[in-house]
């Protein structure tokens, strides 16, 4: 058995893409007779909203998903993240970074292929004393980065198979003092005993960084299953701009949550169009090896 989880950010309503990923995470866990947890990723109080959190949890319940134990909020777990960062600092595995986003882009461009696309090129790790002093005199706020010291990590994803991805010097604490996502998610999964992470495949490339952090913190590596996204008819990731994409939107179109669940199940090959099943009934049909490997492209007006 492998404990699973779903970890939404309370920044808006869940759309059918989010609900499909939540359903898959639930099915992976329940099909193995395992616990399923819900964690709210609300560290960034500039965008997190308790009203959105309540709405998201209500939508999960509406399509029949349940979870074990209380909902955990990242905003209430800062001590855990700070303790993990302190361990990495004590191990000499961090450095301060005052780069702006523009400087990072320009440095990566000037690297002429030395740094993989999207990777931090290590600018502040290589600064001499004079440049550090100049930046300090400017009063630049500093983020804290990991001195990764490895280039890549390979793991086997349950959907994508073997995958090798880059490991760069990820941010551990932002320059506003907030622990960064890549650090918090590793600490949370280890602390909560999460053994299998099911999430959208847009996060596949982040996994090697997180696995490396888990190794450095002596935390067990969870298994991963990165599932295909839901895309709009324009081929871009599902969003509010695509029309009636939330449960409230679908209700305004005359659809019940049970029918929305039917759409999701049909897209996964677990139900016939219009067939109404509970999540529990879907567990009996669930086989991870038969999941679609391509995105679900959907026009909400044609559901």
| Strand ordering across the sheet containing 4-6 | 4-6, 36-40, 72-73
196 phi, psi to nearest 5 deg: -145, 125
Distance CA 56, CA 10 (A): 7
Closest CA to 107 of 300, 198, 98, 297: 98
Ordered DSSP codes for 132-178: HHHHHHTT---EEEE----SEEEEEETTTEEEEEE----EEE-TTSP
Tokens matching residue 87: 């361990």
Residue 219 annotated as binding site = no
Distance CA 297, CA 67 (A): 28
Residue 267 annotated as binding site = no
Residue 300 annotated as binding site = no
Residue 95 annotated as binding site = no
Distance CA 227, CA 269 (A): 14
Residue 271 annotated as binding site = no
Residue 81 annotated as binding site = no
Residue 41 annotated as binding site = yes
Residue 124 annotated as binding site = yes
What does DSSP assign to residue 11?
A: S
**CA dihedral for 15, 18, 21, 25, sign (positive or negative):** negative
Residue 199 annotated as binding site = yes
Residue 6 annotated as binding site = yes
Please answer whether residues 231 and 298 qualify as being in contact, where contact means their C-beta atoms are separated by less than 8 angstroms.
Answer: yes
250 phi, psi to nearest 5 deg: -65, -35
Residue 164 annotated as binding site = no
Distance CA 40, CA 55 (A): 12
- CA-only gyration radius of the chain, Å: 21
Please answer whether residues 98 and 124 qualify as being in contact, where contact means their C-beta atoms are separated by less than 8 angstroms.
Answer: yes
Tokens matching residue 296: 């679900």
> Binding-site residues for Zn(2+), please?
97, 99, 120, 124
Binding residues: 5-9, 41, 97, 99, 120, 124, 181, 199, 240
Q: Residue ranges for the binding site for L-glutamate?
A: 5-9, 41, 181, 199
Which residues line the annotated binding site for ATP? 240
């Amino acid at each position: 058995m492998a404990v699973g989880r779903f970890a939404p950010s309370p920044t808006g309503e869940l759309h059918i893409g989010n609900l499909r990923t939540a359903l898959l995470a639930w099915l992976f866990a329940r099909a193995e007779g395992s616990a399923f947890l819900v964690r709210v990723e609300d560290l960034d109080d500039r965008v997190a909203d308790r009203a959105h959190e309540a709405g998201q949890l209500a939508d999960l319940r509406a399509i029949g998903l349940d979870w074990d134990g209380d909902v955990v909020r990242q905003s209430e777990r800062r001590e855990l993240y700070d303790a993990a960062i302190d361990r990495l600092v004590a191990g000499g595995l961090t450095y301060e970074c005052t780069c702006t986003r523009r400087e990072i882009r320009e440095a990566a461009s000037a690297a002429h292929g030395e740094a993989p696309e999207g990777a931090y090129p290590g600018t502040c790790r290589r600064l001499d004393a004079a440049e550090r002093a100049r930046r300090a005199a400017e009063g630049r706020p500093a983020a804290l980065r990991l001195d990764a010291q490895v280039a890549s990590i390979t793991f086997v994803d349950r959907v994508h198979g073997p995958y090798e991805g880059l490991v760069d010097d990820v941010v551990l604490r932002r320059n506003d003092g907030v622990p960064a996502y890549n650090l918090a998610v590793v600490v949370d999964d280890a602390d909560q005993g999460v053994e299998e992470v099911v999430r959208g495949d847009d996060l596949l490339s982040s996994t090697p960084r997180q696995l490396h952090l888990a190794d450095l913190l002596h935390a067990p590596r969870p298994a991963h299953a990165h599932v295909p996204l839901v895309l709009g008819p324009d081929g871009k990731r599902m969003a509010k701009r695509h029309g009636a994409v939330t449960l409230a939107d679908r209700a305004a179109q005359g659809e019940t949550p049970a029918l929305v669940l039917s759409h999701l199940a049909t897209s996964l090959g677990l139900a016939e169009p219009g067939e109404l099943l509970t999540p529990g009934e879907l567990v009996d049909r669930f086989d991870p090896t038969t999941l679609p490997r391509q995105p679900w492209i959907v026009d909400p007006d044609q559901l």
